A and B are shown apart, each in its own frame.
Chain A
Amino acid sequence: MDSIAITKTQLDGDRMIINMGPSHPVTHGTLRIVLELQGEIITHATPEIGYLHRGVEKLGENLSYQQFIPLTDRLNYTSSMMNNVGYTMAVEKMLGISIPRRAEQIRILVSELARIADHIICLGINAVDIGAFTAFLYLFRQRETVYDLFEMAAGQRLHTSFTRVGGLFRDLPPEFIPLCEQFLKDAPKAIDELEKLLTKNPIWHDRTKGVGALSVEEAINWGYSGPCLRACGLAHDLRVKQPYLGYDQYEFDIPVGTSGDVFDRYLVRVEEMRQSLRIIRQVIKTLESGPIIIDDYKIALPPKEKVYTRMESLIHHFKLIMHGMEMPVGEVYSSTEAANGELGFYIVSDGGKNPYRIRVRPPCLPIFSSFETKVKGRLIADAVAELGSMNVIAGELDR
């Protein structure tokens, strides 16, 4: 304690205001933080957001339910699959339908792959900001494999738009499972390598331990969810607590931390990647065959061969494209456990073709709103570590 006090007085200098962002390498995109410093100590940090506010919610009111799916990709663009799944689940809840088991399983499979990719980016970039470049390179090889898998399944590396209301837009190609199995073999090695580089590294400890620590009560008050909440010590995971898509049929653990600091969040994320691999392994083993989308042509498009050969299917196709689905009047809130935390979609329907109101509950907005309290009185270097480990994705923060 004494040594810290001495450094603090030594570092005490003149008051200074610096402007971090909106175009700053550490803010990864479009955040702006105005820091007020006393020497090296932060006395105020005012975040300003909205530099990537693209009007998605307003746009959603002017698009049909199916047309909104591509916009969900661009919310959290590091794990688009999970946004696709979360959104279509909300629409399915509104319609009150359930989807074929194979579609559910594939949704879990791609969601967990996306979770791994998201955690890789978060950890890799956090490490780069703190000064550990090697981990980034080690992990990014695995991330490329995940993107190859997504490209195979959906035809796009980043913006997948893979799900449809009622299921998926196509089945997995035959080469998918072998590559996925190869990934299951390689990924644990990469995670071990990462841990070898960082987990016992004294520099990493110095930079991350105790930074941004938070109690569970505080975290709940701030609206934390996901890895950041679990790092504080509360085992809250929607996949377990409010199981959806049949997550309860798979065995996996929820890693929790103790203090909620950057180091704990790092450990939680690393362990979550392992647990995701465990889920993927079980899904592949139990993958059922069968349809991947419901065959209610008032909700899902009929297969192309039928559209070209049968009059009735052609009419269904036309009706669905031109008039949209028949939605009940009402409102639903549906949430899933995305990589960052609780991703919620609140949809209000007035029975029309387009949603009357569509709201995205971004997991990182409440987390980022606590930024000032967490870095106040700390060194400017801690702010960098804290920002990286909050995993703020501007696309979903500003929408």
Chain B
Amino acid sequence: MSELSLNDAVVTTRLDSVVNWARKNSLWPMPFGTACCAIEFMSVMASKYDMSRFGAEAMRFSPRQSDMMLVLGTVTNKMAPVLRTIYAQMAEPKWVISVGVCASSGGMYRTYATLQGIDRIIPVDVYVPGCPPRPESMIYGVIKLQEKIEKESLSMRKDHVRRFYESLDRQEQIQNDQGLTGQQTIQNMLRQAAKDKVASIF
């Protein structure tokens, strides 16, 4: 049967692009707001800037129901295991936008207490600079993520996810074996990573 005889009833395409097309236009954001950037994020969701115009309207506070995590604000070493747990709880496919310099690199807090960039402990897809970024930049970050999703390959995603869950298992094992808190486990893992000259623990 030739394609022509079906007329407009069927569209042929690659699996990647149809799945990605659907994914990119229905992002469900979950704000992981910890500090000042979260205050600015309120404006992004309110009437003046309104993120729903870009297909990211249904804000959920539960990680189980969302697929785009916005990390808004400083993530401290004390918060690090919490962030990892929440990321792990999100259903696949999931993406992370790191909003503000604090989340992206530790920002002005180059101290013992602050995690120097969340990409050390979870995979990040888009970074939005600024302290705090203006609402426009946050929206721009979401648009950039949509562009990224469009080009993603489904098989590569799998690999990426597997690596994270493996590191989570490793974390749990160290934690139980040595009887440490989650925070200290991640600290030790970070130190080990630095020794091995890798930039992250997953």
Contact = CB atoms under 8 A, between A and B. Distances in A.
Interface in A46-102: 50-56, 58-59, 70-71, 74, 77-78
A22 B32 CA distance: 10
Interface string A273-295: 00000000000000000000000
Interface residues of B, number: 31
Given A30-B34, A74-B36, A50 B78 contact: yes
A25 interface: yes
B35 interface: yes
Given A71-B108, A77-B39, A157-B40, A52 B131 contact: no
Interface string A226-269: 00000000000000000000000000000000000000000000
B113 A144 contact: no
Given A58-B112, A158-B40, A74 B76 contact: no
Task: Please classify the interface of chain B as helix (H, G, I), strand (E, B), loop, or mixed, using the class held by over half of its residues.
Answer: loop
A124 to B, nearest CB: 9
A157 B39 CA distance: 11
B165 interface: no
A150 to B, nearest CB: 13
A388 interface: no
A53 B78 contact: yes
B34 A29 contact: yes
Q: How large is the interface on A (under 10, 10 to 19, 20 to 34, 35 or more residues)?
A: 20 to 34
B121 interface: no
Interface in B100-127: 108-114
Contact of A52 (B46, B61, B74, B108): B74
A30 B114 contact: no
Interface of A: 22-25, 28-30, 50-56, 58-59, 70-71, 74, 77-78, 121, 137, 140, 144, 157-159, 394-395
Please name the 8 residue pairs, one residue from A and one from B, whose CB atoms are nearest each other, closest first: A55-B111, A77-B36, A55-B113, A25-B61, A54-B109, A51-B79, A30-B34, A53-B113
21 contacts: A23-B86, A50-B76, A51-B34, A51-B79, A52-B74, A52-B76, A54-B109, A54-B113, A55-B112, A55-B113, A55-B114, A58-B112, A59-B111, A70-B108, A77-B35, A137-B46, A140-B46, A144-B43, A158-B39, A159-B131, A159-B132
